Amino acid sequence: DAGVIQSPRHEVTEMGQEVTLRCKPISGHDYLFWYRQTMMRGLELLIYFNNNVPIDDSGMPEDRFSAKMPNASFSTLKIQPSEPRDSAVYFCASNKRGGVYLEQFFGPGTRLTVL
Amino acid sequence: QKEVEQDPGPLSVPEGAIVSLNCTYSNSAFQYFMWYRQYSRKGPELLMYTYSSGNKEDGRFTAQVDKSSKYISLFIRDSQPSDSATYLCAMRISNFGNEKLTFGTGTRLTIIP
């Protein structure tokens, strides 16, 4: 299996622009998670889906952030408009239901820089 | 106050030393405890997991949980340069209904050859 795939790997944009991050989870996994990682705040859960349905979006920082999962093999995280404080590494992770310890498999991340 | 506290380091030790990494937590509902390892510019990977209080050993790694003190540790024996990474503790409340993991901020570890 190719693992969790994220694109783009790097994104540099200007404040006010729309940013779309993409994720393809591991085939057969039921859960998909979006995280944001910064030095100051560490790894923060933004939202997670179960069978394509958003379950908990309490970590989404504000209305500028939105996430969708139109099918089992694709999800997007959109920031509109982007701000410099959104600069971070965004990770997508997936796992299969039934794992007691919930091993999450992470993608390589998208490094976002908002100027 | 964060639910999970972890010293961010950085921590540098000579090769062969014993390394101790720690996390404290405030939510007594956490039942499952994990350690993830993250190499530079990569995503985190599960290293070890445990449920009960006490020790769990896997090769050079030992995970320790003290639920009464709300304290978990990861020990690395005979540390190697390849162990240089950021180590994140992670915790989970329940096996059913709540699939969220709460992560510590991570400790950056460097093993000096």
* CATH class, range B4-112: mainly beta
In chain A, residues with a C-beta closer than 8 Å to the C-beta of B100 are: 45, 48, 56
| Angstrom distance (rounded) from CA A107 to CA A74 | 13
Q: How far is CA B107 from the centre of its chain?
A: 9
Residue A103's CB is within 10 A of a number of other CB atoms, namely 15
B46 or B93, higher pLDDT: B46
pLDDT > 70? residue B86: yes
For the stretch B26-48, pLDDT in tens is 999 898 899 999 999 999 999 99
- So what's the pLDDT on residue A1? 65
| Angstrom distance (rounded) from CA A67 to CA A81 | 14
Q: Give the Cα-Cα-Cα angle A21, A22, A25 (nearest 5 degrees).
A: 140
Closest residue in B to A93 (Cα) is B43
pLDDT > 90? residue B12: yes
In chain A, residues with a C-beta closer than 8 Å to the C-beta of B6 are: 42
- Check B101 against A104: CB less than 8 A apart: yes
Q: Decide: A91 and A9 in contact? Cβ < 8 Å.
A: no
Q: pLDDT tens digits, chain A, 115 residues: what are they? A: 689 999 999 999 999 999 999 999 999 998 999 999 998 889 999 999 999 999 999 999 889 999 999 999 999 999 999 999 999 999 999 988 766 567 899 999 999 999 9
| Angstrom distance (rounded) from CA B38 to CA B107 | 10
pLDDT > 90? residue B94: no
DSSP strand pairing (B11-14 vs B4-6): unpaired
Burial B78-93 (b: 16+ CB within 10 A, else e): ebeeebbbbbbbbbbb
Structure tokens at B54: 């006490």
Q: Decide: B35 and B96 in contact? Cβ < 8 Å.
A: no
| Confidence tier at B21 by pLDDT (50, 70, 90) | very high
For residue B5, the number of C-alpha atoms closer than 13 Å in the C-beta half-sphere is 8
Interface of A with B in 56-115 (CB under 8 A): 56, 91, 93, 95, 100-104, 106-109
Structure tokens at B5: 């506290």
Give me the residue spans of the domains in chain B.
Answer: 4-112
Q: Decide: A67 and A60 in contact? Cβ < 8 Å.
A: yes
- Check A103 against B46: CB less than 8 A apart: yes
- Measure in Å the smallest separation between the Cα of A104 and chain B Cα atoms: 7
- So what's the pLDDT on residue B14? 97
Structure tokens at A42: 């560490």
| Angstrom distance (rounded) from CA A3 to CA B64 | 30
